Every structure is written in C-alpha cells, then in structure tokens.
A and B are shown apart, each in its own frame.
Chain A
C-alpha cells in the first residue's frame, strides 16, 4: 500500500490544480485582511472560520481529487494494481491517504500564510487567538474536508466516475447544510445539528475552551469512517474493466 501511495504522490505532485487552488485560497485570505483594523480581531476570527468552511474546505478537496482522480479511472491504474495483488481495500485506502496527505499540506501552507499575514498586519495579538485560528483550520477546515473526500470517494468508486465525486464535494459543502437547516426549521427535526459542519464547528468552541467534545468523535465515525467503510464494501464486488 505504501508503494502505491509513494507512486501516486510522485505522480500527482506535478499537477497544477494543487497549486492553483492553493494560491487562490491564500489570495482570498489575503483579501480578507483588507480593511480589517487591529481592534476588529474578534470579527476577523469569525471571518477566517467562514472562509475556511466555505472556501478552503471546498477548493482543497476538489483540487486533490482532480489531481489524484483526473486521469485515474481512464488510465486503468487501479485494476492494474489489483491485478498485481493489492487488495481492493488497500487500493481504496491508498488513494484516500494520497488525497489526505496533499490536503494536509495545503491546509498547513494556508495556515502558515494566515499566521504570517496576521503578524505582518498586527491583527492577532494573543496566543489564544492564534490557537483559535489553528483549531478553526483543523476542525472547521481539515476534518470536514476529509469528510467531503470520504463521501466523494463513495460516489467515485461506486459510479466509477470522478466528475460525480467533484460535484458531491460542492453539493455537500455548499448546499447540503442549507437544505438540512431548512428541514430542521420547518419540521423541527435535528438534522442540521447532526450535520458534519455543525458537529465540527461545535467542537471548535469546545476544544478552544479546553473541553473534549464527543461530537467530534461522532462526526469522524459517521462522516469519514462510515463512508469509507461503505465504499470498501461496495468496491469489493465491483466489476473492473481493463
């Protein structure tokens, strides 16, 4: 499995989508700094959270999916890896780890840039604020993005179509939350409270106050582990053509 990950990382690192979407996200964060005064740090922290949720959280998974799966299904590389003795579960996990590794690097670079911009602009003064930014990037950005990836994997591996996976990321990041909010407010069913964005956002508040949030574990199990597990089950029986 590590051999496949290594080969994929080497193959995909030259993909332009990884860098274009990263630069775009950094640019958006830079623009966010304009007109912010040092005394507006609280509002600024909130805006970082929103940007992470609505921009980084979508652009990063999209860019890694394009890099990893853009040519993958057409190339026949997955059937070749399976034909050479890699189990289907390992192939699936290797591809997921490829995406997560690239995305972690993107979030890390993005976080570095935000902290650098903030220190240059002199907006964030306290350590607590910096910790809140880091928690925002990890819990409002990285983990939900991992969940969108896991859900996208389900669609990609079941339908054997990368484009459906790309669309699913945008749908679940931008549309699903709003739809669930409407359902919750209309029918008084707590579906929005159980949605991944809500659970991860809530854990930012809990963790920043030093409390452990069980909602975080539930979100990881329901929105990352479960979709991957279901994908593995369906993919095990998938007919593969060469």
Chain B
C-alpha cells in the first residue's frame, strides 16, 4: 500500500448552521499528483485551509506525512509548500518577498540567494527586482508558485494555480507540476475547475460536491472503455441489483421525470418523431 502524504478522515466544518464540509475523507499518496475538482463553493479551499491549519474543523482528523498527534501535525506542516491566493508585501520586490519567506522558512543565509534564483528560474520570472505592486495577475501566480516551492517542500498544495494565466502560462504550470513531482519528488495537490486542464495534469482525482468527496478516480478509470446504453426502468434499485449481480457496474445514473409522451411511447412501444 502506498505511503500517505495527506490524509483527511471524516472532516466536518460548519460556519454557523451552514455545513461547508460534510465528512470529507481523502487520502493522497506520496508521489501523487492529486487533482481536486469541484465547482466554486464546493469546499476545495476549505479542505486546503483544514490541511494548513487556517481553519478549525468541527470533527475529523488531518494527517500530514503520517503525523499522528497535534504536535507532529504542526511540525509536519513545515514540509508543505502552498499557493492559496497569492498575496505578498506590496512595497517589496519579488526577490525581497521571497527573501522574507526564505528567512521564515529557515533557509540559511549562505544558500538563500541561490535558492531564490532557482525558484525564480523555475517559474520563469526574471531577476525579481520589480516591486510586487507592479505585478500582473499572471506574474503574481508565478511568484506564488515560487514561494510555495521555496526550500523544496515534500508536499505542494496549489489552489487554482492557473488563475489569470494565458494559454502559454497554463501549459507552463502543467509542465512545472510534472517537474515538481518527477525531478524534486514532491507530492502535489492541485485544485481547479477547469477539468480539461486538470485531466492533463493529475493522475488521481477527487471530485468535491457540496462539501463531500463524492468520488475518487484515476487516470486508468478515465482510460477504461465504457459502453453506454440507455435503459429506462421503473424500479431503479431492482435494476441496479440485477446489474450488480451480473457483474456490471453502474457508473452513472440519470433520473428524469417521465413526460406523458415518454410514458405513452414506452407503453405502446413506438418511437418519438
């Protein structure tokens, strides 16, 4: 069994009466590029906030790099780099901002300049002398990624990293994510609502809807050939039971209210024009 990099078990979060996370369980394995998919407000960012300790959960457990207790979780958060809404000190240059975070991260003075040069080169920002307030949205995202990978973290969390990027930038981020995993051995958790983009980036996916991970799928699942037939049934549980007994898995079911026309044609066996 693969080693777990990030594991959430039955995590629940309420804001007042509004339950944002309704028992999220997910397990990201070491070396995964894990895509978190969901529409706006589905709970993706809240899941990240739980992992990072920015929001207190009402129920459940979070484990990072196999941590078992609270103090170990706190310690292991040091192994995580993240981009969740890139914001920086406006009056400082990109380089000075990175220098600040490199100091906080404890990167030794001697290797700091080299490390900042390295991350700036990876994300494709030039010397980094420009003040942050003059940055475009795309440059901000790139600087956010540079900050996230400072010090080569084991786990990288990227929330909507392609926001504000042009098509070239999106392609760059995709290749960067593969590079982070393949060259630097990072486990990457990336969220997006651009499904086509994520499909080309991640190898496992968690689909989040209304505060719950409704399904986890892999690239192999996507590559599986599916035969789609449409069968109208009047007793869905029994139909599913029969299919299951026959070794056929139901991947998708659509329930529709029958119109009088549908009913009529089903009954008499004719066809709609």
| A, B: real partners | yes
B84 and A242 contact, CB distance less than 8 A: yes
A54-85 interface bits toward B, Cβ cutoff 8 Å, 1 = contact, 0 = none? 00000000000000000100111101111111
Residues of A within 8 A of B96 (CB): 11
Segment touching B, from A2-10, A129-137, A162-170:
A2-10
Give the residue name and chain of the B residue nearest to A88 (CB). Answer: B53
Segment touching A, from B85-93, B174-182, B218-226, B238-246:
B85-93
B85 and A7 contact, CB distance less than 8 A: no
A74 and B90 contact, CB distance less than 8 A: yes
B61-87 interface bits toward A, Cβ cutoff 8 Å, 1 = contact, 0 = none? 000000000000011111111101101
B38-65 interface bits toward A, Cβ cutoff 8 Å, 1 = contact, 0 = none? 0000000000010011111000000000
A84 touches which one: B49, B80, B87 (CB < 8 A)? B80
Beyond A82-B52, A83-B52, A237-B56, whether A7 also contacts B89 by CB under 8 A is no
Beyond A85-B76, A240-B55, A242-B84, whether A11 also contacts B104 by CB under 8 A is no
A74 to B88, CA, bound (A): 8
B85 and A83 contact, CB distance less than 8 A: no
A240 to B55, CA, bound (A): 6
Residues of B within 8 A of A82 (CB): 52-54
A10 and B103 contact, CB distance less than 8 A: yes
Give the residue name and chain of the B residue nearest to A7 (CB). Answer: B103
Interface check A239, CB cutoff 8 A: yes
A6 to B112, CA, bound (A): 14
A200 to B73, CA, bound (A): 43
Residues of A within 8 A of B87 (CB): 74-76, 242
A residues 67-112 near B (Cβ < 8 Å) are 71, 74-77, 79-87
Interface check B237, CB cutoff 8 A: no
Total A residues in contact with B, Cβ cutoff 8 Å? 25
A85 to B49, CA, bound (A): 13
A80 to B103, CA, bound (A): 13
Q: Nearest-CB distance from A79 to chain B (Å)? A: 5
A3 to B103, CA, bound (A): 6
Residue with the highest number of chain A CB atoms closer than 10 Å, among B53, B81, B99 = B53
A151 to B76, CA, bound (A): 33
A84 to B155, CA, bound (A): 11
Give the residue name and chain of the A residue nearest to B54 (CB). Answer: A240
B103 and A6 contact, CB distance less than 8 A: yes
Residues of B within 8 A of A10 (CB): 99-100, 103
A85 and B77 contact, CB distance less than 8 A: yes
Residues of B within 8 A of A77 (CB): 89, 100-101
Beyond A6-B103, A10-B100, whether A83 also contacts B90 by CB under 8 A is no
A14 to B53, CA, bound (A): 31
B106 and A80 contact, CB distance less than 8 A: no
Q: Nearest-CB distance from A218 to chain B (Å)? A: 34
Residues of A within 8 A of B52 (CB): 79, 82-83
Give the residue name and chain of the B residue nearest to A236 (CB). Answer: B56
B90 and A71 contact, CB distance less than 8 A: yes
A1-23 interface bits toward B, Cβ cutoff 8 Å, 1 = contact, 0 = none? 00110110011000000000000
B54 and A239 contact, CB distance less than 8 A: yes
Residues of A within 8 A of B82 (CB): 80, 83
Give the residue name and chain of the B residue nearest to A2 (CB). Answer: B106
A84 and B77 contact, CB distance less than 8 A: yes
Interface check B105, CB cutoff 8 A: yes
A146 to B147, CA, bound (A): 33
Q: Nearest-CB distance from B96 to chain A (Å)? A: 8
A76 touches which one: B53, B74, B85, B104 (CB < 8 A)? B85
B104 and A84 contact, CB distance less than 8 A: yes
B105 and A3 contact, CB distance less than 8 A: yes
Q: Nearest-CB distance from B80 to chain A (Å)? A: 7
A76 to B101, CA, bound (A): 11
Residues of A within 8 A of B89 (CB): 11, 71, 75, 77
B55 and A11 contact, CB distance less than 8 A: no
Which 4 pairs show the lowest CB-CB distances between chains A and B? A85-B77, A7-B103, A76-B87, A83-B52
A–B pairs, 19, beta carbons within 8 Å: A6-B103, A10-B99, A10-B103, A71-B91, A74-B87, A75-B87, A75-B89, A76-B87, A77-B100, A77-B101, A83-B54, A83-B84, A84-B78, A84-B81, A85-B76, A86-B104, A241-B54, A242-B54, A242-B87
Chain B residues in the interface with A (C-beta under 8 A)? 49, 52-56, 74-82, 84-85, 87-92, 96, 99-101, 103-106, 147
Chain A residues in the interface with B (C-beta under 8 A)? 3-4, 6-7, 10-11, 71, 74-77, 79-87, 237, 239-242
Beyond contacts A7-B101, A7-B104, A242-B49: 12 other A-B pairs, Cβ-Cβ < 8 A, are: A6-B103, A7-B100, A10-B100, A11-B100, A71-B90, A75-B90, A76-B87, A82-B52, A83-B82, A84-B105, A85-B74, A240-B49
